[in-house]
Each structure stands twice: as C-alpha cells, then as structure tokens.
Amino acid sequence: MTERVVLAYSGGLDTSVAIGWVAEETGAEVVAVAIDCGQGGEDLDVVRRRAIDCGAVEAVVADAKEEFAGEYCIPAIQANSLYMDRYPLVSALSRPLIVKHLAEAARYHNATMVGHGCTGKGNDQVRFEAGLAALFPELKVVAPVRDSGMTRDKAIAFAEEKGLPIDVSKKSPYSIDQNLFGRAVETGFLEDIWNGPIEDVYSYTDNPAEQREPDELVVTFTAGVPTAVDGKELSPLQIIEEMNRRAGAQGVGRIDMVEDRLVGIKSREVYEAPGAMALIAAHQELEAVTVERDLARFKRGVDQRWGELVYDGLWFSPLKGSLDRFVAEANRHVSGEIRMVLHGGRAVVTGRRSESSLYDYDLATYDTGDAYDQTMARGFIDVWSMPAKIANLRDRQQG
C-alpha cells in the first residue's frame, strides 16, 4: 500500500505546489488538511477543490473557529498572555490547534508522514514539529520549503510546469499570517527597524488617528471567560469577532515590535489584534478588582511563563498543563462587568462592577463610614520594616 502524508494546507501557492512536490519527493499520496481558524479569505469548499485539483488524494477541511476561540484564545485571555509584554500570541495559538487536526487526520488516513510549508528560521516550524512530536511522534516530517529547496521561484516554476490551478501572478509584498485572534505582517521595508509601518500594512484596524466618535461598551466575564457584550450573551467566537469589529474600527490593537524568536534571532514584527488587546485589557482590570494581591503578584510570573511556553511551541507540555490548573483556579472569581471606551487606538477601562469584587468601599473610603482600623498600621509598619532596619544597622556598623 502507498504511504500517505498529511499536509497542512492553506490554499495558497506554496502549499498547493507542496502537494505535488511532496508527492514526488516521497512517493506518497498527499492528504491535504485545511483548518479554518478565522483567517477569512476563500470558502473552504473552494480550498478543498483546489487541493484535489493540485493532486491531493483526499482533502479535509474543518471549520475550527469555535474550537479555536474557546480552547485556545480564551485560555490566553485568562493568562493575559502577552509575549514580551506586547504580543498576544496570535499565530502561536493557532499552531497547536492545526497540529491536533493534522494528528487526527493522520490517524484516520493511516498516514506515516506529515508535511508543512514553514521555513527554517521561523517559530512556526518548531510549533508544528514540537506539537507533532507530542501528539504523534511516529510521523516523519516533510518540510519542502526548509529541507528540499522549494523556494518561491521554484514553486512558481513547478506550478506553471504542472499547470496547477493557482494564480501565480499576484505577489503580495507582505508575508501575512492571520486568524480570529489577530494578524501578523512581515515585509521587506520593515526589516529596517528604523522604518515605521505604513497604513497599507494594516487590515484588521482602521487608522487610529482619524477623527471619529468613541465607542463605549460593557464586557461581561464569568470565571475569566468573556460571556457577553453590552448585556448580550455571545459565544467566545462571537465575542472575539464582535470585539475585533468594534475595537478594530477604533484603531485599537496595533503592535510594532522587535521580537525574540525561539530560533535565536530577533525579528521585526507588526501585528493587529483589536479584539485580543481589548479583551485582555478588560480581563486584567477585572482581575485587579477580584484577585487577591499575593495571587495577582505570583500570577504575573505564571502568565509570563505560560506565554513563553506557547510562543516556544510547547503547548502540549507538562508544564503548560500544570500552569493551566493554576490559571483556571486563579480565574474562579474573575466575574463581573467592565465598561470600556474604545477610541483613537486605545481601549480604556472606565468602570468595573462585580459580585465577587474584593474592592471594599467601606475599607477604601476616606469619607465617614470608614471601616478601616488605622491603629493597626503602626504595628504593621514596625514588623514590616524590621528586617531592612536590622540590615541597615549592620551595614552602617560594617561600613
């Protein structure tokens, strides 16, 4: 029986060519697998047909948008995860989802190999292959772009030679990866890090500098999960879409940064993630209201590590699993409403309301009704400052 390879398929030039390229290289039959994580673009049926037309023996397409929203984006919000304090892990979140579907398809179709179109200097090759090593380590990886010289020029030549039904003429100057949670853009002129991005780079967000009316809304969270906007209950997918639309219209969520890649180099990246950035801002503020101080302080380190692991391709790792338990427990009481104003590129929280608030007006107020026992402060300060006091005395004596 002929061997089979499942190929992560996008419908674009590179992976369309890869169908034939991989088939020739390996002698195997190619099963194309396309996953809709909300990247938009063509209809899944069109994508499926193109895969077949390009030589795939099977083409699996799956609408995984709800799954992506609920099982990948929501945990990222609960962990406030911003790699390097800025990047909400857009591409890094979708890779384990795709890997999961690839592994399932490989089992179903008895594949012995898996193919992807990643280059050898990006993070995504690691995320794909580390994910596959975790879920289905027996699969052999085929990576034509990285390992067998399938450059863009050669891909175009291959497509023309084989008469593949792909339009090779339209060449975008941008290298783009996008999904429900955001959009990443790389391009030649941004590789000079002194150059600023131009408006043409953006697609999910309108120009924040343009004059327009602010948009005020209220997001409801239940145990750290956004569950409603302006009182209307929505699924995770619907909420992220709604927030993308409204925050995007106000220019919220543009990110321009130099980033530490897992593969050892720094790279320039431009992102747009309007819904993600607005929802994380809202979630952080609701945590400030409902999470106890020591837990909040420790959680910052957990959130950082969670984001690093996901960025680093270790979604399916034991540490990720244990951090997930911490994050879930810490979110248990993160319920309530956050009012925000979206405007001019900013998502600004202006109000918080929660049944499980730890903010206590009676303790906080300076008005009459103050319930805080101020006579306790003196003892607290005395004990609190004692270790540093003793050390400073010693330091002065020791000179």
Please tell me whether residue 161 binds a copy of itself under the rule CB under 8 A: no
> Are the C-beta atoms of residues 286 and 226 closer than 8 Å to each other?
no
Point out the catalytic residue in the list 43, 147, 152, 175: 175
How far is the C-alpha of 216 from the C-alpha of 246, rounded, in Å?
Answer: 10
From the list 38-46, 163-171, 177-185, 352-360, the region that binds a copy of itself by CB under 8 A is: 352-360
Nearest approach, Cβ of 65 to a copy of itself (angstroms)?
Answer: 26
230 is catalytic: no
Point out the catalytic residue in the list 36, 124, 177, 303: 124
- Sign of torsion over alpha carbons 159, 160, 161, 163: positive
95 is catalytic: yes
How far is the C-alpha of 78 from the C-alpha of 282, rounded, in Å?
Answer: 11
The residue within the footprint of a copy of itself, chosen from 50, 65, 95, 333 (CB under 8 A), is 333
Please tell me whether residue 189 binds a copy of itself under the rule CB under 8 A: no
- Non-local (6+) Cβ contacts of 87 within 8 A are 255, 257, 259, 269, 271, 311
Please tell me whether residue 345 binds a copy of itself under the rule CB under 8 A: yes
> Are the C-beta atoms of residues 236 and 70 closer than 8 Å to each other?
yes
Q: Print the binding letters for residues 265-304 with a copy of itself: x by CB under 8 A, - otherwise.
A: xxxx---------------xx--xx-xxxxxxxxxxx--x
Please tell me whether residue 108 binds a copy of itself under the rule CB under 8 A: no
300 is catalytic: no
Please tell me whether residue 379 binds a copy of itself under the rule CB under 8 A: yes
14 is catalytic: yes
- Non-local (6+) Cβ contacts of 370 within 8 A are 362, 363
How far is the C-alpha of 40 from the C-alpha of 44, rounded, in Å?
Answer: 10
Please tell me whether residue 137 binds a copy of itself under the rule CB under 8 A: yes
Please tell me whether residue 26 binds a copy of itself under the rule CB under 8 A: no
9 is in an annotated binding site: yes
From the list 15-23, 45-53, 236-244, 351-359, the region that binds a copy of itself by CB under 8 A is: 351-359
Query: Which residue is it, tokens 């940064």?
Result: 257
Nearest approach, Cβ of 187 to a copy of itself (angstroms)?
Answer: 9
How far is the C-alpha of 243 from the C-alpha of 237, rounded, in Å?
Answer: 10
How far is the C-alpha of 263 from the C-alpha of 393, rounded, in Å?
Answer: 49
Instruction: List residues with catalytic annotation.
Output: 14, 95, 124, 175
